[in-house]
Structure 1
Amino acid sequence: MPHVLLVIDQLASGGAPRSVLKLTRALLDSHIRVSLISLSDRVGLPIPEGAEWHVVPFTSANRWEKLRRYQLHARRFDDFLARQETPFDLVVANLHQAHQVVSRSTLAKQAWYCIRSDPWQELLSNKRGWRRGIKRHKVRRLYDSKRIIALSRTNLESLERIGSQPQATRVIPNVLQVENIHRLMQARIAEPELQDTDFCLFVGRLNFRQKRLDRLLEGYLASGVDLPLVLIGDGEDERLQQEVIRLGLQDRVRALGGRNNPYPYMRRASVLLLSSDYEGLPNVLLESLACDTPVVSTDCLSGPRDILVGELARGLVPLEDTQAFGRAIRDITDHPPTIRHEHIAPYLPQTVAAAYRELME
């Protein structure tokens, strides 16, 4: 049986750890042995049954160790590997710390490095002048001549923009657990008044910096649709209320807070809206399509352009064009596109597992 090692910074919270665990389940279901290594003792998410998992943490004891933390952590990682009895047919490092540690380890040349966000946005966008130049050099040194997995084509384009020259590249998206989504979306929503009402929907963190809820509200207002806007998520509630009042939308916008199961809302919605400046690969778009609900999204970094193809591209709008966002909401609600199996087929567990199996071959 082929053996895959997945290395990640932590398994406590966040979209990337959850995506790696979904990948783990898909690989196990495809009769591939999986070992998980967390580089932190933060492990709170449920590990799929059948996976082997280990914790190989490192904590700096002083400033000198902090400066050399990746190299020292790699030594501890190598010590752990030396005690393992079976080799790995495939090694995948996920997230930045894992990239830094594995690239200094004995697995450096064997490993694939999975980039789970837009590298330019995550690593360079907050740097200016000479600081950006130094950071660009560090990123190139990390990824040059490496084997790179990206969740979308636009992630790879961003790496090229930095100037990195990988040895090999593959685009393999996150796993979409369609069967689980179809089961969960059958539940009744908690608000009786929404059971038989069409509405627009946002699902995600109530965050203005990345998610640009100001753009969401302004685009919704510009659409002129008479459907209410429902928001599911936690975050900047006070600022959200201020924006709603500023735009005079108090009677049209409902913030429901977080929901453990948003899929019944996706199934009931007329359209799902995403107004972000950037994403990694926006799973919420795929989940909405799995619920047979169309999407309007900004053409942001990165992922929407890869997901919204064919007729679905009618819902893709320029990043800064609020009026176009509004027109797309009106167009999609008046004339919903047909969501076909091929739109989500690349993200099915068996498809993603097959792509990882190809890397072993």
Structure 2
Amino acid sequence: MPQGRAGVGDEAAERSHDSRRVAVLVPSMDGGGAERSMFNLCRGLIARGHRVDMLVCRTEGNLNGQVPAGARFVALRRASTVRGRIAALRADPGALPVLARPMLLPWKSPWSLRYLPALARYLGESRPDVLLAGIPFFNLIALWARRRSGVDTRVVVTERSTLSVNIAIREGQWRRRFLPPLLRRTYAWADAIVAVSNGVADDLARATRIPRERIRTVYNPVVTPDLHERAKAPLAHPWFAPGMPPVILGVGEFVESKDFPTLFRAFARVRRSRPARLVILGKGKPERHALVISEVERLGIGRDVDLPGWVDNPFAYMARASVFVLSSIYEGLPGVLIQALACGCPVVSTDCQSGPAEILSHGRYGRLVAVGDDEAMAQAISETLDAAPDRARLRARGAEFSIERVLDDSVNALFG
């Protein structure tokens, strides 16, 4: 049986006549932008008087101190891989032809399957009004868990990245071939299919042949009410002191999709013509971190590059940086790009699928460059450094993605 602890504020929410119980499936507390967006949504729902259960699979990580006040934390117990596979097959026996190759036959099944039995038990016991999931494999187990439990809970699935590019880069041959048909079959059971950008929605429809009209776009609520106050907080980093060279900022996990090597090469080009420094806030697995360090050393830019790791308040850096750069190969709706705008920071981004062009209105609010083109990126950075920024205009654009503006769309998707 899942274990949980109730947060303060549940009693007040219970008394609200319009209160509904919303369960939010959180893959890991060691997460990034997707998990933080879920947390922001939870805070908005709680503020409106709804009861929120946060169903967490992997409970250890850097987000443990950020659980929204008033949320009920439920740690889902992990089952064996065999039990997870059996539960998936029993949820949809007719799916064997499309289920076997991407999920059941590979030696290393998606770890999400191991939480399917516990999720089904939770639904049977707690019977929330709505279950919200994000990320493909967790969308699948949410839908299978409802079938296994036999409840009438409304299930809303969310796509947060460009599916076709994601599976082309991250998945093996079998999953690349058979995952889209499995998603098409299983997503048909969802009460709502949400994409975090129009680009993600278009790609999901193309990749899975789900009718485009079934997919609605709801932007992530990434600009929180406290962002501007946090942006004003003191910053002790010496590179941001008055009179120092301009600082270029990047934020993200050290993974292939963020393509920091292109940013390093672009920075090396910028350094040939002007003094500048580069700070990247993020971390990665030891082997990825070693590759990052190796590239910095190879380019001879180590004295002007700082890698502080994750920080509690990236907004203080964004508010003081001369330019923020997103170098990703693919995204869904990059929250850090929006947050940089909301802090008034000029931005440069790759024109990757999907999100940056939507956020920047195809170049109106920041320069877009081709993926992997370090020469074009260096030129865009230099041009941005030379231009006088209209920070108020950038902040206004970022505010369009605030919780207050996005929450109504989120609530409509959740409750129908």
**TM-score range relative to shorter protein:** 0.7 to 0.9
- Which of 14, 23, 28 is the aligned partner of 2:46? 28
Q: CA 1:163–1:248 in structure 2 vs 1: closer, same or farther (change >3 Å)?
A: same
- C-alpha separation in 1, matches of 2:28 and 2:372: 35
Contact 1:37 1:56 (C-alpha < 8 Å) held by counterparts: no
Alpha carbons of 1:47 and 1:217: their partners in 2 closer, same or farther (altered >3 Å)? closer
> Do 1:200 and 1:272's aligned partners in 2 also have CA atoms closer than 8 Å?
yes
Structure 1 residue 220 corresponds to structure 2 residue 267: yes
SS across alignment from 2:164: helix
Aligned to 1:183: 229
Cα distance change on mapping 1:316 and 1:81 into 2, 3 Å: same
Shift of 1:161: 2.7
Say if 1:9 and 1:95, in contact at 8 Å, map to a contact too: no
| 1:200 and 2:214 correspond | no
- Between 1:316-325 and 1:65-74, the stretch displaced more is 65-74
CA contact (8 A) 1:288 1:294 kept: yes
Is 1:156 the counterpart of 2:208 in the alignment? no
Query: Contact (CA 8 Å) 2:254, 2:289: kept in 1 or not?
Result: yes
1:358, distance to aligned residue in structure 2 (A): 2.5
Counterpart of 1:8? 25
Counterpart of 2:135? Answer: 95
Moved more, 263-272 or 119-128: 119-128
Matches within 5 A, 1:263-302: 263-302=315-354
CA distance in 2, matches of 1:39, 1:190: 34
RMSD over aligned CA atoms reads 2.9
CA contact (8 A) 1:145 1:165 kept: no
Instruction: Give, in angstroms, the shift of residue 165 of structure 1.
Output: 0.9
Distance of 1:302 and 1:41 partners within structure 2: 28
Code of the aligned partner of 2:71 = A
* Partner AA of 1:200 in structure 2: I
Matched residues in 2 for 1:254 and 1:129: separation? Answer: 37
Counterpart CA distance in 2 for 1:258 and 1:341 is 24
Distance 1:107 1:323, change over 3 A: farther
Aligned residue among 123, 127, 135 for 1:81: 123
SS of match in other structure, 2:226:
helix
- d(CA) in 2 for partners of 1:150, 1:37: 21
**Residues 226, 107 of structure 1: CA spacing in aligned structure 2 closer, same or farther, 3 A cutoff?**
farther
Q: What is the CA–CA distance in structure 2 between the aligned matches of 1:76 and 1:206, rounded to whole Å?
A: 31
**Corresponding residue of 1:229:** 278
- Indicate how the Cα distance of structure 1 residues 43 and 35 shifts in structure 2: closer, same or farther if over 3 A, else same: farther
Name the CA distance, whole Å, in 1 between partners of 2:326 and 2:277.
16
CA contact (8 A) 2:281 2:307 kept: yes
Quick one: structure 1 residues 130 and 184, their matched pair in 2 at CA, closer, same or farther if it must change by over 3 Å?
closer
Output one character per residue of 1:145-165: Cα deviation in whole Å (capped at 9) or x when no partner. Answer: 642111111211221231331
SS state of the match for residue 385, structure 2?
helix
Per-residue CA deviation, residues 118-173 of structure 1 (Å, 9 max, x unaligned), is: 22233343456665322332232232464211111121122123133156222112
Question: Residues of 1 paired with 2:76 and 2:259: CA distance?
Answer: 37
Structure 1 gaps of 5+ residues are: none
Return the TM-score normalized by structure 2: 0.75
**Matched AA of 1:47:** V
Q: Does 2:55 match 1:38?
A: yes
User: Which of residues 161, 168, 176 in structure 1 aligns to 2:214?
Assistant: 168
SS of 1:300 mapped into structure 2: coil
Contact map agreement 1:201 1:230 (CA 8 A) in 2: yes
Matches of 1:76 and 1:232, distance apart in 2: 35
- The alignment's TM-score, normalised by the length of structure 1, stands at 0.86
Query: Is residue 36–residue 51 contact of structure 1 (8 Å, CA) maintained in 2?
Result: yes
Cα distance, 1:249–1:43 mapped onto 2, change above 3 Å: closer
- Alpha carbons of structure 1 residues 148 and 182: separation in structure 2 relative to 1, 3 Å: same
The alignment partner of 2:59 has SS state of: coil
Instruction: Give 1:113 shift.
Output: 0.7
Task: Pick the aligned partner of 2:77 from 57, 80, 92.
Answer: 57
Whole-angstrom distance in 1 between the partners of 2:41 and 2:118: 26
Report if the CA contact (8 A) 2:278-2:304 is conserved.
yes
1:294–1:164 distance in 2 versus 1, CA, 3 Å:
same
- Equivalent residue of 1:111, what SS? strand
Q: Assess, with a 3 A threshold, how the Cα gap between structure 1 residues 69 and 318 changes in structure 2: closer, same or farther.
A: same
Judging changes above 3 Å, is the alpha-carbon distance between structure 1 residues 41 and 248 closer, same or farther for their aligned structure 2 residues?
A: closer
Matches of 2:296 and 2:366 in 1, distance apart?
27
Matching residue of 1:330: 382
Aligned partner of residue 210 in structure 2, secondary structure: coil
Distance (whole Å) between structure 1 residues aligned to residue 60 and residue 396 of structure 2:
35
1:134 aligns with 2:178: yes
When residues 240 and 78 of structure 1 are mapped into structure 2, their CA distance, relative to the original with a 3 A threshold, is closer
2:295 pairs with 1:243: yes
- SS of 2:258 mapped into structure 1: coil
Q: How do 1:337-348 residues align onto structure 2 when only pairs under 5 Å count?
A: 337-338=389-390, 339-348=393-402
Alignment deviations for residues 39-90 of structure 1 (CA, whole Å, 9 cap, x no partner): 6362763432223443443502x73x242233576665455434447x62x4
Q: How far apart are the structure 2 equivalents of 1:129 and 1:240?
A: 27
Give 1:301 deviation, angstroms: 2.6
Q: Which runs of 5+ in 2 are unaligned?
A: 1-17, 92-114
